[in-house]
Structure 1
Amino acid sequence: MIIGIDDTDSNEGMCTTYLGALMLEELQEYGTVDSLPLLVRLNPTIPYKTRGNAAVALKIKTDCPEKVVTHVISRIEELARMECEKTNPGAVFIQENDYERLKPVLMSFLEEAVKDVIEIGKAKDIISELGIASKSFKNGRGLIGALAACGAMLNPEGWDFTFEHLTYRQKERWGTPRDIDKESFFEADQETYPETWDTVDLTNRLVVCVPHSADPVLFGIRGESPEIVNKAASLIRAESVERFAVYRTNQGTDMHLLPAQSIAEIRDMHSYRLEGTVSVAPKTLEGGHVIFAVRDREGAEIDCAAFEPTKNFRALIRKLVPGDLVLLSGSVTSGTLNIEKIEIKALVPVCREENPKCPECGKHMKSAGQGQGFRCKKCGTQSLSKVRSETGRDLETGLYEVPPCARRHLAKPLAREKRQDIMLYPSR
């Protein structure tokens, strides 16, 4: 049986991955939990998400599926933050004899849930039409993520994947400040990067894998294999933990990005790769946000932003000038593309005007007076106007990313890119 669960957390606490970790242990009473659990991040722009918009799925071999269903539902009722308006849990249960029948439908549903906007009614219609066992609470929006997570479990090799080691706090510590040795996270990163990433932000000297909310997670280490994330976690010095779980995930894969051939096809609440030419020079707004515009081949324009949380990345964006060719990755909200990565494909020459040089002595001439051109006092040579000269650009073509402290769960870090023209700006 495959079990999909979503939307049990709130902004004030709880975490759906914690419920998944509990089920890994508790469902052993009813059978054997098969393979790693899945953590699936959905469309990051959905406004009614709680925090990270993640769903989980598990697979169990059991002779008593009814008891499994009853246990899962009882734990959701007990632990989900039902008092939160945005918390609307859903659970889906798929029997093995339905795997092949449901696989193409739910694989497609997974892609749509990560890249598009799905209404609750569509998930409920699929459940009803295909006879899928499910349980929903309140408006049942969690059924969307639960179905998507099941789609991922039905096709485990059909998408790029990474792993995350999630460590959970003792219950009596929930909601209190986390007791961690920050330096140990930098040591773990130094030992395991680039096979792990987003543990720390070296440039900004921040630990980024420790949440700040009241949820049960102590920290999460992301990487390329279960072995490497476990190794990094073993190097962390922190408060005692209740449990941990290693999830297979779609984090760090760019699975949310859609190719955009033109700005006309771009819609809010979606994420894109878009090529264009800088048409309006970057400007810094109140609050530190940096905004500029790009134009596509049809002449349409869209605003693009490096918001204040992207920190040092904004210094790079400020160096762009009209005419530069860029390939942008990011999510669109309120008609503005929030940059996650930028590939600078071509730079235009930048020229400046300066006084002409004397052909005799090589020194710059001085103005001879308004409307009278320029003259070298030493040699007596003259010139009618200033000259234009190309200046160097403090910028190189290549692929750049926002710092770890500003990275979205689904954004693929450059540590995973297999390219030679990668720029870690200003440095990792």
Structure 2
Amino acid sequence: MIIGIDDTDSRKGMCTTYLCALLREELSSFAKLISEPILVRLNPTIPYKTRGNASVALLIECDDKERVFRHVTEKISSMACLDNENTNPGVVFVLEDQFDSVRDKLSSFFKCAVKDVITIDEAKELASELNLEYKAFKNGRGLIGALSACGAMLDLEWDYTYEYLAYREKEVWGTRRTVDEKSLFEADRVTYPDTWDTVDLVNNMVVCVPHSGDPVLYGIRGKDASSVKKAASFVVSEPVERVCIYRTNQGTDMHLMHVSLISEIEEMHSYILEGEVSSEPITIRGGHTIFTLKDEAGDVIDCAAFEPTKNFRELVRKLIPGDRVVVYGSVTENTFNIEKIKITELATSYEIHNPQCPSCGKRMKSAGSGQGYRCKKCGTSSDISDKKEIERDVMPGFYEVPPCARRHLAKQLLRFENEVLPVFPGR
């Protein structure tokens, strides 16, 4: 059977991936684990998410399904943050004899949950329609993610990466983590580009160690299980209670949809949009850099490189009206949050000067509004100013936010094939 679980954590603690890792160990005493567990990230704009909007799924073989149902639901009841109003767990069980009949609908539901907004009622209706065993705790919002994770397990025709998650011993949850930073930089040095986003070299920051009160000690992301395991072997840290390697849709851009016109954009969705820069980028209070992008119909939308994107804002500030770009990211509050940008065409920029006098070589003065220029010494005149092209301090190419600002689903440039990419500073 497949077991899908979601929404057991809160902003203060716990982690659904930890519960999955624990269940994986406990269930193995009376069930057989068939494959690595799955961790899927869903629509990153959903306001109800705790941190990364992740759900998980296990694939097992067992003789006593009732024992599995009972063990899993009791474990969720005892470990989920049920006293938090925003924690509403859901668990779904898909039996083997149902796999073929539910595969298409659950797969479609999974892909929709990554890109779109789904209601709790829609999730409950689907679970009932497919005659699935499930349990909804409180309002049952976690059923959305639980069904999605089951759909991902049934449909492996999607791009995937891996994450190695190490978990803390329970008695130190909520305290400061102890992970040797030098060992993380060494792990990155040895295994990059097979692993990524362990550290941020440009900003000299550790990325893979969270700061919240959840059980995760660190997470290493990479192209396959052996690569993330190798990187983890270099890490020096406090004692680790358990580890789990997940297959995941992180780093795949699965949340993005191509759109041609701004009028087609909806709030809380993520897009790839091409257009023309129509305003000079400005930096507002808080350090956020914003410019407007115009589509072929003449509609505009604000595009933002927010303060956490750090040095990426320097690139955005070099854009000028007339540049052609493709932006990748999510839309909330009518603002496009840029995750990546592809500069396809640079506009020409000029410096304008008063013309030189052909007789004496000095710069002419303005003869008055709309009257051209005149040399006071020689009396010569001209209607044409001197125009000099400015060399742009930016090149066409693909640019991304630094690892410290990367969203879970955003695809790293190193994972793009058949693209001519600039070398990002620091690599």
Tell me the secondary structure at the aligned position of residue 415 of structure 1: helix
- Residue 367 of structure 1 corresponds to which residue in structure 2? 364
Contact 2:164-2:228 within 8 A present in 1 as well: yes
Q: Distance in 1 between matches of 2:264 and 2:123?
A: 25
Q: 1:360: Cα distance to partner?
A: 8.3
Q: 1:419: Cα distance to partner?
A: 3.8
**Counterparts of 1:145-156 in structure 2 under 5 Å?**
145-156=145-156
C-alpha distance after superposition, 1:64-96 (max 9, x if no partner): 111111111111011100111111000000100
- Residue 58 of structure 1 corresponds to which residue in structure 2? 58
- Residue 2 of structure 1 corresponds to which residue in structure 2? 2
- Residue 222 of structure 1 corresponds to which residue in structure 2? 221
1:368/1:38 Cα in 2 relative to 1: closer, same or farther (>3 Å)? closer
Q: 1:423: Cα distance to partner?
A: 2.8
Name the amino acid aligned to 1:50: T
- Alignment partner of 1:100 is 2:100: yes
Normalised by the length of structure 2, the TM-score is: 0.96
Tell me the secondary structure at the aligned position of residue 319 of structure 1: coil
Name the amino acid aligned to 2:342: E
1:323/1:239 Cα in 2 relative to 1: closer, same or farther (>3 Å)? same
Tell me the secondary structure at the aligned position of residue 189 of structure 2: helix
Contact 1:349-1:391 within 8 A present in 2 as well: yes
Q: Distance in 1 between matches of 2:54 and 2:96?
A: 24
Q: Distance in 1 between matches of 2:148 and 2:283?
A: 39
- Residue 22 of structure 1 corresponds to which residue in structure 2? 22
- Residue 80 of structure 1 corresponds to which residue in structure 2? 80
- Residue 191 of structure 2 corresponds to which residue in structure 1? 192
C-alpha distance after superposition, 1:268-305 (max 9, x if no partner): 10000001111111111011111111111111111110
Contact 1:55-1:149 within 8 A present in 2 as well: yes
Q: 1:375: Cα distance to partner?
A: 5.0
**Counterparts of 1:36-51 in structure 2 under 5 Å?**
36-51=36-51
- Residue 334 of structure 1 corresponds to which residue in structure 2? 333
- Residue 403 of structure 1 corresponds to which residue in structure 2? 402
C-alpha distance after superposition, 1:139-183 (max 9, x if no partner): 000000000000000012x10000000000011110000011111
C-alpha distance after superposition, 1:32-88 (max 9, x if no partner): 111110000000000011111000000001111111111111110111001111110
1:247/1:381 Cα in 2 relative to 1: closer, same or farther (>3 Å)? farther
Q: Distance in 2 between matches of 1:152 and 1:360?
A: 77
Tell me the secondary structure at the aligned position of residue 281 of structure 1: coil
Tell me the secondary structure at the aligned position of residue 28 of structure 2: helix
Contact 1:356-1:374 within 8 A present in 2 as well: no
Q: 1:370: Cα distance to partner?
A: 4.9
Name the amino acid aligned to 1:272: Y
Tell me the secondary structure at the aligned position of residue 29 of structure 1: coil
Say what the alpha-carbon RMSD is for the aligned residues.
Answer: 1.7
Q: Distance in 2 between matches of 1:354 and 1:382?
A: 17
Contact 1:355-1:374 within 8 A present in 2 as well: no
1:381/1:238 Cα in 2 relative to 1: closer, same or farther (>3 Å)? farther
Tell me the secondary structure at the aligned position of residue 99 of structure 1: helix
C-alpha distance after superposition, 1:172-223 (max 9, x if no partner): 1100000111111111111111111110111111001100000000000000
Contact 1:365-1:376 within 8 A present in 2 as well: no
**Counterparts of 1:111-190 in structure 2 under 5 Å?**
111-156=111-156, 158-190=157-189
Q: Distance in 2 between matches of 1:335 and 1:189?
A: 37
1:391/1:239 Cα in 2 relative to 1: closer, same or farther (>3 Å)? same
- Residue 90 of structure 1 corresponds to which residue in structure 2? 90
Q: Distance in 2 between matches of 1:101 and 1:381?
A: 90
Aligned pair count reads 423
Q: Distance in 2 between matches of 1:383 and 1:191?
A: 67
Tell me the secondary structure at the aligned position of residue 9 of structure 1: coil
Q: Distance in 2 between matches of 1:123 and 1:232?
A: 38
Tell me the secondary structure at the aligned position of residue 194 of structure 1: coil
Q: 1:358: Cα distance to partner?
A: 6.5
Q: Distance in 1 between matches of 2:298 and 2:136?
A: 47
Contact 2:7-2:16 within 8 A present in 1 as well: yes
Q: Distance in 1 between matches of 2:308 and 2:242?
A: 32
Name the amino acid aligned to 1:216: P
Q: Distance in 1 between matches of 2:366 and 2:123?
A: 77
Q: Distance in 1 between matches of 2:69 and 2:161?
A: 28
Q: 1:382: Cα distance to partner?
A: 5.0
- Alignment partner of 1:320 is 2:319: yes
Deviates more, 1:222-231 or 1:20-29: 20-29
1:360/1:118 Cα in 2 relative to 1: closer, same or farther (>3 Å)? same
Identity %: 57
Deviates more, 1:117-126 or 1:20-29: 20-29
Name the amino acid aligned to 2:118: I
Q: Distance in 2 between matches of 1:112 and 1:102?
A: 15
- Residue 297 of structure 2 corresponds to which residue in structure 1? 298
Contact 2:355-2:364 within 8 A present in 1 as well: no
Name the amino acid aligned to 2:304: A
Contact 2:93-2:132 within 8 A present in 1 as well: yes
Tell me the secondary structure at the aligned position of residue 280 of structure 2: strand
